[in-house]
Amino acid sequence: MHNHLPPSPPALSEAEWATARWADDGGNLAEPRPSARHAHWLRIAAALSSRLPELTGREDILVTCEHGTRSGAPAAFYPTTAELEIDTALFTPLAPATIRPARPGDEDRYPAAWGAFVHEAAHAAHSRWHTPPPLRGTALDQVGQVLEESRAEHAHLRRRPSDRRYLRAAVRTLVLDDFTSTAPTDRWQAALAAGLILARRDAGILDPDETEPLENTLTGLLGPDLLQTLADIWTAAHTTGDEDAPAMMEHARAWCQALGAEAAAPAPTPDPSNGRKGELAEAIGKVISQVQANEAAQAEAEAKVTAARAARAQAKADQAAHARQAAKTAEKVFAPGGRPFTPDNATKGRHRSPVNGTRPPEAGERDAAGRLARALRAAAHRERTTTHTASAAPPGRLNMRQALARDAQRAAGATPTATPWTRTVHRPTPTPPLRVGIAVDVSGSMHRATAPIASAAWILAKAAALTDPDSRSATVAYDRSVTAITVPGRVPRSVTQFSAKGRGHCLAEATDALTAGLSLDRPGAGRLLVIASDGYYAPEEAARATTRITALRKAGCAVLWLAFAPDPLPLPGATVLELTDPAQAATAIGKAATAALTATI
């Protein structure tokens, strides 16, 4: 079994001594320059050394990365010299130039290597006891090392529970090589496997379902009673202090006694004549495969969560950017002067306003505005809230059952808890103001509907102003440009007349201007977007406008689509209403608006 915690490094070889000689001792006069690859491993070792204090709380440990370690283990820590070595093979298949341990989070690219590093860091922080020199190399020493493996990791997890995933990833590296498919299976080897795998389960590193195959195999080899005795020993070791060498030696002695082994003698060696070979390696392989499968599933789930979080963050950033752009659009559309605003106008050319005059509203239009205002007010109305309160004293209605219960409690000498009085309180709910945005299509396909459009726009704007002093409305006309008819908060006195001779449809930008100008995407008011159009848009224009309508619907804003010609093509998400005479259809507009507002307020 590889020793991850030898007291000191092995003796230097002749080649290492030759490299270490000074010039006056016959060594090389000039130090050979390391190759580019070796320079990268020196950089990685230095970076690992800089990360080690956060894992151990120690700043005196030097990390080395070499191809092959002096101890023969994938990684090892030498307490007497404060050295930690790690095999470069653990970072395979990554190129050393791409490994950046100094960057927090880079360890996720090589979890097994980082897990071995964390394991040795756990030894550096918590393995403060040592086997007495006379007992080194004995069965007692080997058992102590096995018990220390899970004890150190258990103590480390109490400080840094987030390192569990890396320790799990390193189980294969730390354990599997000690059990080969050709090694005989006996009680001593089975007990070592239990101390290395099942003890990690009880330390909180592995899960019970992962270790079940090995536990079944060990139960057949050791018996349930002996396996429970060993479990009691490693559980007691997990609660032993970092410097309590006598207690750890006592645990190791109890282990040897349970297995009938001589504690002061060398550890028992497998019997080559034993016909049962490879059972432990096979069972441990199943454990590691299950661990890897669980880690892969966990990584996939975490990747999905990370992707969803990133998508939400990106959506939030996009929404904020769109809100800033919409605010700029509203500022340009509703700027003083009432000039048309053309999105993406690279030539900065002037576009003619579709407004060709105004006229006083007719009596029928004023009546229609009044009826629509009452309908909108009714749609925004909220019923009173009712609250029932129980109390021990009036006012309120007396509940005789509760009164008798209270008298009985008082007669029995108990503290009265019954509440015989019930009071009902009705509180009015404030009616929210309205925000009504009106977008009028003045493209060429709407030339026959200019009169009803102008009438409907005035009726809607006037009705919104009549509902509540805090209500606001705004009207824009759009083709390939957006023109403000009424700015937010201004009540129209006359009916604005249009000419529908434009080209294109920038409903998306018109919606942005109304949304930003009236806060249609924010709660706190009854919000309604009214679009007067036939819906004959190019696919790209329709897609962009649909995105805006969908966003408003999700934000709680109702969308009403008014069509003044047969066979309209309304965009998805809008409540459609086909009209001929807006003044006579005020009731229909009121019903449609009421339904839309009721569904969203």
The residue count of the chain comes to: 601
Domains of the chain: 1-126 (3.30.2010), 132-291 (no CATH), 336-380+431-600 (3.40.50.410), 385-427 (no CATH)
Cis preceding-peptide flag for 523 (omega within 30 of 0):
no
Residue 490 has what pLDDT?
A: 84
Residue 447: pLDDT band by 50, 70, 90 thresholds? Answer: confident
Q: At residue 381, does pLDDT exceed 70?
A: no
Q: At residue 445, does pLDDT exceed 80?
A: yes
Cβ–Cβ under 8 Å, residues 427 and 385: yes
Residue 347 has what pLDDT?
A: 45
Q: At residue 196, does pLDDT exceed 70?
A: yes
Over residues 43-62, mean pLDDT: 94
Q: At residue 575, does pLDDT exceed 90?
A: no
Nearest in space to 531 (alpha carbons), one of 486, 562, 501: 562
Distance, in Å, from the CA atom of 497 to the CA atom of 442, rounded to the nearest integer, reads 11
Residue 346 has what pLDDT?
A: 42
Cis preceding-peptide flag for 395 (omega within 30 of 0):
yes
Q: At residue 294, does pLDDT exceed 80?
A: yes
Predicted structure pTM score: 0.64
Q: At residue 397, does pLDDT exceed 70?
A: yes
Distance, in Å, from the CA atom of 222 to the CA atom of 454, rounded to the nearest integer, reads 93
Q: What are 220-235's pLDDT values in tens digits?
A: 999 999 999 999 999 9
Nearest in space to 42 (alpha carbons), one of 122, 97, 93: 97
Tell me the CA end-to-end span of the chain in Å, nearest whole number. Answer: 72
Residue 51: pLDDT band by 50, 70, 90 thresholds? Answer: very high
Mean pLDDT of the chain: 86
Question: Where do we find the tokens 């605010």?
Answer: 327
Over residues 529-542, mean pLDDT: 91
Q: What are 53-75's pLDDT values in tens digits?
A: 999 999 999 999 999 888 888 89
Question: Where do we find the tokens 């576009």?
Answer: 351
Cis preceding-peptide flag for 111 (omega within 30 of 0):
no
